[in-house]
Amino acid sequence: MHIVDRRLNPNSKSLENRQRFLRRAKAQVQDAVRTASGGRDMGKALEGGEVSIPSDGVREPRLRTVPGDVQDHILPGNKTFSEGDVLPRPGGGGGRGGAGEGDGEDAFRFMLTREEFLEMFLDDLELPDMAKRRMASVEREGLRRAGYQTSGSPTSMSIGRTMQLALVRRTALKRPTSANLAALEAELAECKDEARRKTLTAEIEAAKTRMRRIPYIDPIDVRYRRFEVEPRPVARAVMFCLMDVSGSMTEHMKDLAKRFFLLLYVFLTRRYKQVDVVFIRHTDKAEEVDEDTFFRSPASGGTLVSSALAAMARIVGERYSPNDWNIYAAQASDGDNAHGDGQVTAQLLTEAVLPVCQYFAYLEVGATSHLRQSMPESPLWTLYERLQEEGAPLSMRRVEDRNEIFPVFRELFRKRDAQQVAR
Amino acid sequence: MSSDKLLFREGGDWNFSTLQRIYDACEDVAVNELGLDVYPNQIEVITAEQMLDAYASMGMPLFYKHWSFGKHYAYHETMYRKGWAGLAYEIVINSSPCVSYLMEGNSATMQTLVIAHAAFGHNHFFKNNYLFQTWTKADTILDYLDFAKRYIAKCEDRYGQEEVARILDSAHALMGQGVHRYHGARGPDLRHEEERQKSRRAHQERIFNDLWRTLPTAAKAASPDFTERRRALLGLPQENILYFLEKAAPRLTPWQREVLRIVRQVAQYFYPQGQTKVMNEGTATFVHYKVMKRLHERGQISDGNYLEFLQSHTNVVAQPSFDDQRFSGFNPYALGFSMMCDIERIVTEPDDEDREWFPKIAGAGDPMAVLRDIWANYRDDSFIGQFLSPRLIREMRLFQLHDDAGFKEGIQVEAIHNERGYRRIRRELAKQYDVGAREPNIEVVDVDLAGDRRLIVHHHVVGGALLDRGDAERVLQHLADLWSYEVALREVDADQTVLREHLAKPREAAQFEWV
């Protein structure tokens, strides 16, 4: 009898089957993921969890019978029945309970992990202009294997290649192997014929000399692995979150903004190894704050959008050189801006901010739609729309309800080929 | 009770030397006192996660890759993580050595129970029951699965996952129709055929006499019916559809035939398990009960731990009444266990009724010998049909309901636990466990070889039970894809009247890419 402790064996034996299952049901799972994420709270929106897909695509049909018209059942636990009793059928109308189960389950429910959930959710999205910037950015250096060389440090010696070359040389120079030698010696031990013995001894001597003269491994066989310095593209990103926190921004609006920022953050973390986040909030003056303050602490004052843009430009200049970093920015606001700030904002945006940014998204968060219909376009929206028409690379969307966040986000980052103009 | 005899201390902790002690003690009881004959054991301790993995691959430690196993994993994982379903204490594999997986979370008492249950109860049953002996090869199954896994992986490398998955999907759909149900004479293979041919030739040469040629003969008998000949050539009728496809499907490539064969072999391996649920679990439960009782009598298990055992044993063998909320049919553990306890009673202390009903075993003296014989030679339906005693019918208060849709007044109580009812109840319960009655009887009947190569499949309808229409059509589609020509499935009753007909044409991809 053996007792084996399997607990330390790798756990994920079913992982591949699971991935195959998800791939097979991909379309349905993606739909399910999007529906599921829409109704959830931000904190949990991308947590993974239970989804339910129509079972049609993943059905495993079997031939099975449905009960006929006449059935007999044996049951345990008789209490009062006697032979010949007639019991009313359950569920009236002559229908029979339990019979004719029909098509069985019509939905398959299961849990997704956070990773799978995100994978499905972000599957067909891409970061705009990433390729272009990557190539243009200054590159760091890394080492890459590149063939073999004849000199190097002992640690980088390539045993395999060395032995290979040694074998080639030994074969070419006909160095006797130890097996040859052993065979000769064995023959000598057996041999009685004097003349033959003599030739054998001579042959053995010759072989031994040859073996001494031709070394098993020669210094000329030794090879070392060669490494080459290779430039590596930068894979760092910084994300600027700009938000108006003036009195006109309600909690609801901030909540919408937060959802959007979080999505962008999650998205970036999946594309870049390292993602920094800078929170800049502004009223009539801007300040860099931590996340908690950004979303929670109240502030009051007027509204000067240009202050935030100036702050961002300053921080970029100080800490995030556009050569080293991919820069993304998302701005959320209710659209208010102080009268007379428009010109400054436009100038800052087009001259200082947009040129260094990979992507700039403006999200206008509104209260409720029926209010807005009667109102004219907000000052900021009008301004940005004009800049966009002039060719500034910025994307803008309006969001009023939390259900719209996901569709808007998806729309902004949809794959390019599916979308002619990235606006 | 001296505490140095105890296998483990009260409190429930165990380590690997405890397991060894437990195993040795169980082995002593099971082999020396109960006379069990088992495959060598291998006991593996696994985590919940690994148990889920095992669930997903039909309990086998290795299996080829297919999305459906991922689906099952996702399902079980959800059930488990949400707390809707617990996990089994153990899984045992019919192989030699017999592998039992024990959950790491079991207490020492539970490990004892589980070792007795799986490593001795199930193990003995696997090794000795005729169905398992006939249909499964315990010593090669793991190697075969290893081969299957590598073969299918290789096919995936060469032909693509999609392509292989499509064949597997179709084969899985027909898995229930991929087993040989009778061991009947198989067609001889080529070598034997050749030998037979040779000996026949020799015989003809020996008895050759030219005179025979000159004898006048009667008018030549009409040439044998072509249909009959064709059917005989194709081995029809054939109820093992996967086997038929593997041998006769016109457009499958060799690797596709091999994949069908793998699925068929796996189906065959699991075939006995469905027919011996009650007996298998009954045996294992009976054995663990006996072993635990003996260990307690010997003082190797403390009173407290024995109570822990009794509690979980009672849960296992609980049979809710039909009107209970928890009722979901017969509990195979309960039915099997109580029948075996009852047999033990009949063998040792029979009363007059038992002598009348079971003349052969009543008072035979050695209950274990009788039980071992039963374990070896019966399956669920024959076991129940033979050994369900009137006393047990009374104890379980079994009754029979007759539900006839034509009888408008309602459902009739056909039989109860009385003199007139015993045999009827026993016969009917045995029928419920009869594979022949539970599973649709489906056969490949004919192929229109001269015409459009349409395959004709019959479902022999019993008791008016037709196939579920949706699933039947889906399965038929898979069958058509494999056959690559039209397929007709006719549901016929005993008078050969066609009650319903399904048709399927092969899908496009199936026609072109497989050539």
Residue (of A331, A325, A396) closest to A358 by Cα position: A325
Is A134 inside any structural domain? Answer: no
- Is residue A346 within 8 A of residue A383, CB to CB? The reply is yes
**Which of A29, A65, A79 has the highest number of chain B CBs within 10 A, making it the mutation to test binding with B?**
A65
Residue (of A411, A341, A421, A321) closest to A382 by Cα position: A341
Strands (E), A250-318: 274-282, 286-289
A95-104, B126-135, B390-399: least confidently modelled range: A95-104
Residue in B27, B41, B413 nearest the CB of A85:
B413
Which chain B residue is nearest to residue A93, measuring alpha carbons? B408
Tell me the residue range of the domain where A246 lies. 236-418
Report the alpha-carbon distance of residue A166 to residue A170 in Å, rounded: 6
More confident residue, A196 or B182: A196
Same domain as A331, residue A208: no
Same domain as A297, residue A190: no
Q: Which residues pair with B504 in a beta bridge?
A: B487
- Is residue B102 within 8 A of residue B95, CB to CB? The reply is no
DSSP states of A353-397 as a string? Answer: IGGG-SEEEEEEE-S-HHHHHHSPPPHHHHHHHHHHHTT---EEE
CB proximity under 8 Å: B 261-320 to A: 319-320
Same domain as A360, residue A326: yes
Report the alpha-carbon distance of residue B490 to residue B467 in Å, rounded: 10
CB proximity under 8 Å: B 446-505 to A: 459, 461-468, 470-472, 474-475, 478
The residues, any chain, with a CB within 8 Å of residue B135's CB and separated by 6 or more, are: B179, B180, B268, B269, B271, B272
Last residue of a domain, one of A168, A195, A226: A226
Last residue of a domain, one of A200, A226, A252: A226
B245 — phi, psi (to 5°)? -65, -45
Q: How far does B475 lie from chain A, in Å, by closest CA?
A: 6
pLDDT for A340: 78
Please answer yes or no on whether A19 and B50 come within 8 Å at the CB atom.
Answer: no
Please answer yes or no on whether A78 and B398 come within 8 Å at the CB atom.
Answer: yes
pLDDT for A411: 77
List CB contacts (< 8 A) between A89 and chain B. 403, 410-411
pLDDT for A418: 39
Same domain as A250, residue A203: no
List CB contacts (< 8 A) between A6 and chain B. 44-47, 50, 101
pLDDT in tens, A331-347: 888 877 777 788 888 88
Q: How far does B146 lie from chain A, in Å, by closest CA?
A: 14
SS3 assignment, position A420:
coil
Alpha helices in B3-65 (DSSP H): 16-27, 48-56
DSSP states of B286-325 as a string? Answer: HHHHHHHHHHHHTTSS-HHHHHHHHHHHHHHT----TTST
HEC letters along B228-255: HHHHHHCCCCECCHHHHHHHHCCCCCHH
Whether B134 has its CB under 8 Å from any CB of chain A: the answer is no
**Residue ranges matching CATH 3.40.1350 in chain B:** 440-512
Whether B161 has its CB under 8 Å from any CB of chain A: the answer is yes
More confident residue, A139 or B441: B441
Is A242 inside any structural domain? Answer: yes
Is A378 inside any structural domain? Answer: yes
Instruction: Read off the pLDDT band of B186 (50, 70, 90).
Output: low
Report the alpha-carbon distance of residue A335 to residue B303 in Å, rounded: 77
B237 upstream amide cis, omega within 30 of 0: yes
- Is residue A290 within 8 A of residue A273, CB to CB? The reply is no
Residue in B74, B324, B330 nearest the CB of A110:
B74
Same domain as A254, residue A173: no
Number of domains in chain A: 3
Q: How far does B162 lie from chain A, in Å, by closest CA?
A: 10
Interface predicted TM-score (ipTM): 0.78
The fraction of chain B above a pLDDT of 70, given in percent, is 94
Q: How far is CA B242 from CA B69, B171, B177, B230, B248, in A?
A: 20, 7, 7, 19, 10
pLDDT of B389 over the 80 cut: yes
Three-point CA angle B421, B426, B429, nearest 5°: 120
Report the alpha-carbon distance of residue A362 to residue B135 in Å, rounded: 69
> Which string of b and e fits B190-215 if b means at least 16 CB within 10 Å?
eeeeeeeeeeeeeeeeeeeeeeeeee
pLDDT for B219: 61
Same domain as A393, residue A248: yes
pLDDT of B508 over the 70 cut: no
Which residues of chain A are modeled with pLDDT < 70? Answer: 37-48, 91-106, 124-141, 232-235, 273, 367-376, 415-423
pLDDT of B89 over the 70 cut: yes
pLDDT for A129: 54
Same domain as A260, residue A203: no
Same domain as A353, residue A408: yes
Q: What mean pLDDT is predicted for residues B351-379?
A: 90
Instruction: Read off the pLDDT band of B348 (50, 70, 90).
Output: very high
Whether B38 has its CB under 8 Å from any CB of chain A: the answer is no
Q: How far is CA B88 from CA A46, A203, B80, B100, B110, in A?
A: 32, 73, 11, 12, 12
Whether B39 has its CB under 8 Å from any CB of chain A: the answer is no
Last residue of a domain, one of A176, A192, A226: A226
Report the alpha-carbon distance of residue A18 to residue B69 in Å, rounded: 7
Architecture in CATH of B440-512: 3-Layer(aba) Sandwich (3.40)
Burial bucket for residue B283 (CB in 10 Å: 0-12, 13-18, 19+): buried
Please answer yes or no on whether A96 and B440 come within 8 Å at the CB atom.
Answer: no
pLDDT for A385: 83
Whether B410 has its CB under 8 Å from any CB of chain A: the answer is yes
DSSP character for A340?
T
Same domain as A200, residue A290: no
Q: Which residues pair with A331 in a beta bridge?
A: A242, A362
Is A86 inside any structural domain? Answer: no
pLDDT in tens, A142-201: 788 888 988 888 888 999 999 999 999 999 998 999 898 999 899 888 888 888 888 889
Residue in B43, B53, B410 nearest the CB of A87:
B410
> Which string of b and e fits A142-181 if b means at least 16 CB within 10 Å?
eeeeeebeeebeeeeebeebbeebbeebbeeeebbeeeeb
- Is residue A350 within 8 A of residue A387, CB to CB? The reply is yes
Residue in A3, A65, A84 nearest the CB of B465:
A65
Q: Is A340 left (phi over 0), alpha (psi -120 to 50) or beta?
A: left
Same domain as A240, residue A195: no
More confident residue, B513 or B241: B241
Residue in B69, B73, B321 nearest the CB of A77:
B321
List CB contacts (< 8 A) between A78 and chain B. 322, 397-399, 416-417
Look up residue B158 and give its two tokens.
């060469």
pLDDT for B393: 93
Same domain as A252, residue A179: no
Look up residue A218 and give its two tokens.
């020669």
Whether B56 has its CB under 8 Å from any CB of chain A: the answer is yes
**Which of B21, B166, B411, B478 has the highest number of chain A CBs within 10 A, making it the mutation to test binding with A?**
B411
